Chain A
């Protein structure tokens, strides 16, 4: 019997559930508030913090500053926070679903499916009015859901739920990318704006986007908190989960739907923003440990914080131009991820 190999092969970043975990959520909330204030103050027109407060209290409503703040920056900051939380949560849900620390919605092709739907919507001339807008969002979400359903049907034939599903996801993701590229080829004069959107960014975010993402993110968060003990048991794998009384196939179906909806709604608002879904759950796990009851809230808040900061950087660093935030998160996320990989193998230490 040598099926059990020695240690360090999980690849999960871990943390001892220390008392640190207790102040993490309040600290992240404070940091998120501070980041929001910063994001509102910074921009091509810089607004002093005191004015920001006055505007939020309704004292500055009808001058230019007020309109920039309440009409442009505030919805954008909200959208960034909500999309960040949705991405981080869908990343965590994917990692738990596949019991694979490298899983993310992109890995099962959801993001690519949603992007394909959104590009199709853009080519069909949607986003011109609110009917077209709803149509475009619906197209994007259905792209994500169709891909998930397809991946699920192809993947569950395999003996091991995770492996076959991930492989099917990679194949379908590649197919969706090819179709998206083909559409870009046909895009003509709209090519630039679509490519820019695909790179990921929040400059289109208005209150309308906020009202779409907010309920989805809140429901997703509530569902995951509600299932947090089930998610812990799911990490044990099919047999042990069943032995402990969890109906794992049912949870897996629910998680797939949840991931599909969270990720596709995020994509429909902001294009494809990488690395948040992959990295934020890892960072949170470093502090809280893997117990979902402690992990979910910090993951959501951390995702929100990260994207609010990244978006603020993306629109101010090269102001008046904008760096697509997807490039920004990938450029900062990849080194962080490599650092995490290094960190979990201390030489010689247990």
Chain B
């Protein structure tokens, strides 16, 4: 399902806009990397996409449906979000947390079906945390918790996935695992958007990149185009060159270390 964003403007307080006239096209079957410095509006953009924030102007189209007209429940069936502030303390086991992802598909008080439970365990397995299903969420490490939360988003079976810094607590193996998962999901014709601060691995897995700066989509296109030295220096005020000797490697060089 394609996402189309048209002229999005958002401000938490009048007079200090966080998003300025953002227009983007996010295609199904692709991984989109959303890059940009702290406070450039990446997370706010994600929250506008799934309707948890109402933009003051502009539209979001999910397929051919206007996001503003969807109920929270309909939205949760179309867009699964892994947000930055995942809860630290929850009285649930890992499996129970993943089963919460089935919430938008279930009715009222009904029990989890065997299919739901099987599916939830598959989701845990895809994130390499299948063995932890019985463990309490509180007792998991930060990285394990993060993977359980991603598994919960998978359990939502939504055609659009929005990941907000989902790799931040992960070791290198699991970062790669998550990026590969993004590719797999894209291959299932889903749209995957990942907000990342990682400029060294994420670009290898992103079909397209968007660079945000001060609330605007400053540059978009292929990762190599978008993360050119001139853009990096303008967005991050860092003098750095990323070069792509091959499809599976990135080299970094810094002007003054």
Q: Do A and B truly interact?
A: yes
Return chain B residues, CB-CB under 8 Å to A233: 100, 103
A232 touches B109 (CB 8 A): no
Q: Return the chain A residue nearest B76 by Cβ.
A: A245
Q: How far is the CA of A240 from the CA of B168 in the complex (A)?
A: 18
Name which of B24-32, B82-90, B225-233 contacts chain A: B82-90
B138 touches A9 (CB 8 A): yes
Q: A242-B52, A243-B83 are in contact. Are A4 and B145 (CB under 8 A)?
A: yes
Interface size class of B (residues with CB under 8 A): 35 or more
Choice from A237, A244, A285, A350 contacting B91 with Cβ under 8 Å? A285
Return chain A residues, CB-CB under 8 Å to B108: 226-229
A1 touches B90 (CB 8 A): no
Q: A285-B91, A291-B92 are in contact. Are A246 and B72 (CB under 8 A)?
A: yes
A14 touches B104 (CB 8 A): no
Return chain A residues, CB-CB under 8 Å to B1: none
Q: How far is the CA of A290 from the CA of B80 in the complex (A)?
A: 23
Return chain A residues, CB-CB under 8 Å to B138: 7-10, 12, 14
Q: A7-B138, A10-B138 are in contact. Are A245 and B103 (CB under 8 A)?
A: yes
Return chain A residues, CB-CB under 8 Å to B85: 3, 237, 239
Q: Is B81 an interface residue (CB 8 A)?
A: yes
Return chain A residues, CB-CB under 8 Å to B86: 240
Q: Is B174 an interface residue (CB 8 A)?
A: no
A245 touches B73 (CB 8 A): yes
Q: How far is the CA of A289 from the CA of B90 in the complex (A)?
A: 11
Q: Tell which of A229, A244, A289, A291 has the most Cβ of chain B within 10 Å.
A: A244
Mostly helix, strand, loop or mixed at chain B's interface?
loop
Return chain B residues, CB-CB under 8 Å to A16: 93, 134
Q: A242-B72, A245-B75, A247-B72 are in contact. Are A289 and B104 (CB under 8 A)?
A: no
The size of the chain A interface, using a CB distance under 8 A, is 40
Q: A4-B145, A228-B109 are in contact. Are A12 and B76 (CB under 8 A)?
A: no
Return chain B residues, CB-CB under 8 Å to A317: none
Q: How far is the CA of A116 from the CA of B165 in the complex (A)?
A: 50
Return chain B residues, CB-CB under 8 Å to A239: 52, 83, 85
B220 nearest CB across to chain A (Å): 25
A295 nearest CB across to chain B (Å): 10
Choice from A10, A13, A246, A285 contacting B103 with Cβ under 8 Å? A246
B14 nearest CB across to chain A (Å): 18
A288 nearest CB across to chain B (Å): 11
A237 touches B87 (CB 8 A): yes
Q: A8-B138, A229-B106, A245-B72 are in contact. Are A236 and B91 (CB under 8 A)?
A: no
Q: How far is the CA of A211 from the CA of B122 in the complex (A)?
A: 50
Mostly helix, strand, loop or mixed at chain A's interface?
loop
B178 nearest CB across to chain A (Å): 16
Q: Scan A201-242; emit 1 where CB is below 8 A from any B CB, else 0.
A: 000000000000000000000000111110011011101101
Q: Which of B81-129 contact A (CB under 8 A)?
A: 81, 83, 85-93, 96, 100-101, 103-104, 106, 108-111
Q: How far is the CA of A14 from the CA of B104 in the complex (A)?
A: 25
Return chain B residues, CB-CB under 8 Å to A247: 72
Q: A4-B142, A16-B134, A293-B109 are in contact. Are A243 and B168 (CB under 8 A)?
A: no
Choice from A1, A9, A242, A350 contacting B88 with Cβ under 8 Å? A9
A243 touches B52 (CB 8 A): yes
Q: Is A63 an interface residue (CB 8 A)?
A: no
Return chain A residues, CB-CB under 8 Å to B88: 3-5, 9-10
Choice from A225, A236, A350 contacting B90 with Cβ under 8 Å? A236
B13 nearest CB across to chain A (Å): 13
Q: Return the chain B residue nearest A8 by Cβ.
A: B138
Question: Interface residues, chain A, CB within 8 Å of chain B?
Answer: 1, 3-14, 16-17, 101, 225-229, 232-233, 235-237, 239-240, 242-247, 285, 289-291, 293, 350
A–B pairs, 22, beta carbons within 8 Å: A3-B85, A4-B142, A4-B169, A5-B88, A7-B139, A7-B140, A12-B89, A13-B91, A16-B93, A229-B108, A232-B100, A232-B103, A235-B92, A240-B86, A242-B52, A244-B104, A245-B71, A285-B91, A290-B96, A291-B96, A293-B109, A293-B111
8 smallest A-B Cβ distances: which pairs? A245-B76, A10-B89, A290-B91, A12-B91, A245-B73, A245-B104, A243-B81, A4-B142
